[in-house]
Structure 1
Amino acid sequence: MPLRKRHVVLAAALLALAGCDSVGNPFPSLSGPSSSSYAANQPPQLGNTYFEPSGVSPGSPTGTYVGQKVQGFRAELGELQGAIRSQNEQLQTVRNKTIQDSQAYHENVAGMNARLQVGTTPGNPVLMNRWEQAQGQLNTINDDIILMNQLSAQITTSSAMANYLLDSVGAAYSLSGAVDEDHRQLRVVEDETQQTVVLIERLLNELSQDIARQQQYVGNEKQNLNALALAIKNGQLYGTSFANRPILGNANAQMAASGLPGPGGFAGGQPLVMVRFDRNSVDYETALYEAVNNALARYPNAGFQVVAVGPAVNAVGQSTQNTAQARLYAERVVRSLQSMGVDPNRIGLSATTSASAQFPEVHVLVR
């Protein structure tokens, strides 16, 4: 088994991890995470439409009051379309910047994952520096989103002006003193204003989609960076954050469909992972990640109960001390799960004692 190679101290002969037979092989075995696990998480695709207004058709003065209004409408529409051209240029600029920033970040993170894939020293300072660089790159991408939001506010203002102009043009039909040429020119201005309104709506819609995709990407990558920091600390690759896993359906239904018992753990109360803390430093996080990864692959809605198990002895004071020490270890395991991206609301913590435990233990059960 891969865990024996890592000399991870797990109770009951590495019970329940990576599909051990003692729990009926509930999970498929893992050969280990690969660099492709991050490669699939590419930066989001942004829109590529170039929003160019069609322009304003010229018209001849008619000498009427309505004709003067038409000339004013035409001038306002020209100014509005000029603003849209400027905002479109800003959009293309911020898109190109966002793409470049996202690619630079993704290449940096993919490089760190590739280095961790082949193994490295725990807390490798080179990777730690690159991780800090990646954090700065992600902040830059977030700044790009701020620019997109600012641009969206400007375009929203242009949209309000375009709709107001369209209403004004429509109202001008009811003005008295117009000649046929006035109404013909009004129809031309109205059509071109309507086209501008549609263009602005398309621009806003595409920009909103860009913003939503980028916000989701940044949120996911913040969780992935937390998981990556944990991997760098241990010098071993885990994979992407569990926070990016979708929550689908009902947990009980998923467990029933997979043939597994419902919440409360496996048959016979066997935990997913049992970690025995018989020395100060126990390398359990790789094993924990693989086991949780397998569990969430089978039923994404699963939660986890972390149980501190202290050795039960005759001396009451000693028993209390053992339980308190086990709880400290359990809290460490909870922090590890959270660093891997498991939602804190899906993690429970409890404590107990066991006559069979010789050292403080931490049991992780599926619930």
Structure 2
Amino acid sequence: MVFKKYRPLVFCATALLSGCSFSSDSLLPTLTGEDPAGPPAAPAKTAQAPTPRLEPVARPALRPAPAPMMRTARSSQTANGAAMASTFVSGKVAELRQELRRLQTNVSKTNSNLQQLRSSSVQKASNYQRAVADVNSRLQVGTTPGNPILVQQFNTALALLNKISTDISSMNKLTTQVTSDSTLAAFLSENTRAAFRLSGALDEDHAGLAMLEDEVNRTVVLVDRLLKELSEDIQRQTNFVATERSNMNTLSASIKTGEIMGASLTNRALTAATSGAGAITPRASGSTTLGRRPLVVIRFDRKDVAYDQALYNAVSRTLESRPGATFALVAVAPNTGGAAKVALNRNKARRNAENVLRTLQRMGLPTQRVALSERTGRATSTEVHLYLN
């Protein structure tokens, strides 16, 4: 009875106790620090967020894919442009430039060889002059005839003079090479100018041709200058060797007698020039020159006849074999026309002969060794003949 009486109270107490347990579980914090209500649904969505974030990382790898196509297109355009730029004129420019480089290399090498020859010639000439000066100084104070010491010094000087002649031969070889280079330079200059008239050229081709033409012109100037210097050096060295060979003949005779015989041809010419021997008087030759073969025939059929080198070579060769030789210089005037024409031709021939005589004097031949005369003959223009007496 008592149980039935308190049954409603027990039932109510049980319900209240169960409600308090749920309420405490949902409201009181847990000792683990986690949310009592459990993980919410939103964090579950954020947990999946890193997965979309990885997608942009993969996208940059996909973006450069079109780049090779663009580079390929650009490279193809460059190749097409290069193919378009490779014209016949551009190929001609490259060919001419290659020939120009070869020409410049040859010119540089020839110039170096010339400088070496000049240095060698200067040294040999200095040694030669020193050897000759030693002989002359000994002869000046007097010595025994055929002194062996002087003979040895004479042979040394003669060997040095022969070496200088060898240098002249080397210069002649260089002149041949420079002449060939001059021909190549003229060829390049002509072909460079002709390339401007070729069709199918680009503006860049003409710009390259203009630069090439400037380089060719500068190289042509260098080649011409080198050729001129070689010609002058050869003529100067040839004149020096020819004059010194004549002096060596005189020196040889002096060594045989043991006494110095006097001034050389060059010194005699200098003495005649400083003494005022400018007026040339006609001299009669020792023997007639008709029917004889002249050493040199100079025809004045044009203005500024270049006869110096031929005249000097002929006289020097004669003096080498005959140191005491004398010469006859004959002015030949044409005998055609009236008396006035003949007189005019005779005056002109005489003036030409006087000029030749002055040239011989400048070369070192004493005027006392030359006899001047004049005559008329069958000639188309005034002539000057040089004979050996």
- Structure 2 length-normalised TM: 0.50
For residue 343 of structure 1, what is the amino acid of its counterpart? A
Structure 1 residues 70 and 254, CA gap change in structure 2 (3 angstroms): closer
Q: What's 2:226 paired with?
A: 203
Unaligned runs of 5+ in 2: 1-81, 287-318, 329-367, 372-389
Q: CA deviation at 1:132?
A: 1.5
Identify which of 228, 231, 235 aligns with 2:251: 228
What is the deviation of 1:111? 1.0
Q: Which runs of 5+ in 1 are unaligned?
A: 1-59, 257-261, 266-336, 347-363
Please tell me the residue identity of whatever aligns with 1:77.
Answer: L
* Counterpart-to-counterpart distance in 2, 1:365 and 1:188: 60
Residue of structure 2 in register with 1:194 after alignment: 217
How do 1:342-361 and structure 2 match up within 5 A? 342-345=324-327
What letter corresponds to residue 237 of structure 2 in structure 1? Q
- Seen in structure 2, the aligned counterparts of structure 1 residues 97 and 163 have a Cα distance that, compared at 3 Å, is same
Single out whichever of 129-138 and 211-220 deviates more from structure 2.
129-138
Residues 1:63 and 1:255: Cα distance change in structure 2 (over 3 Å)? closer
2:155 to 125, 132, 142: 132
Mapped partners of 1:230, 1:206: distance in 2: 36
Structure 2 CA distance for aligned equivalents of residues 151 and 229 of structure 1: 34
Identity %, equivalent residues: 42
Of 149, 152, 162, the match for 2:185: 162
Task: Give per-residue Cα distances to partners, 1:245-303, cap 9 Å, x unaligned.
Answer: 5599xx995469xxxxx7699xxxxxxxxxxxxxxxxxxxxxxxxxxxxxxxxxxxxxx
Q: Would the alpha carbon gap of residues 162 and 236 (structure 1) be closer, same or farther in structure 2, given more than 3 Å must change?
A: same
Deviation per CA, 1:154-175: give whole Å up to 9, x if none: 0110110011011011111111
Q: Which residue pairs with 1:114 in the alignment? A: 137
Distance in structure 2 (CA, Å) of the matches to 1:338 and 1:79: 44
Q: Which residue of 2 aligns with 1:24?
A: none
CA contact (8 A) 2:245 2:320 kept: no
Q: Secondary structure at the match of 1:207?
A: helix
Please state if 1:95 is matched with 2:118: yes
Q: Report the residue type matching 1:107 in the other structure.
A: R
Deviation at 1:343, TM superposition (A): 3.0
Which secondary structure state, in structure 2, belongs to the residue aligned with residue 71 of structure 1? helix
* 1:116–1:232 CA contact under 8 A, matched in 2: yes
> For the structure 1 residues 244 and 170, does the alpha-carbon distance in structure 2 shift closer, same or farther, using more than 3 Å as the test?
farther
* Mapped partners of 1:77, 1:228: distance in 2: 51
Q: SS in structure 1 opposite 2:107?
A: helix
1:76 and 2:99 matched: yes
The aligned counterpart of 1:17 is none
Identify the residue that residue 236 of structure 2 maps to in structure 1: 213
Greater helix proportion: 2
Cα distance change, pair 366–82 in 1 and its aligned pair in 2 (3 A):
closer
Alignment map for 1:1-367 (pairs within 5 Å): 62-242=85-265, 246=269, 254=280, 341-345=323-327
- The alpha carbon displacement at 1:339 in A equals 8.4
Q: Tell me, yes or no, if the aligned pair for 2:131 and 2:157 is still in contact at 8 Å.
A: yes
**RCO (CA 8 Å, sep 6+): is it higher in 1 or 2?**
1
Structure 1 runs of 4+ with >2 Å offset: 238-248, 251-256, 262-265, 337-346, 364-367
Shift of 1:135: 1.4
Q: Partner amino acid for 1:65?
A: F
Instruction: For residue 243 of structure 1, report the CA deviation from its aligned partner.
Output: 7.3
Q: Secondary structure of 1:229's partner? A: helix
- Aligned-residue CA RMSD (Å): 3.2
Q: Is the 8 A contact 1:241 1:340 kept in 2?
A: no
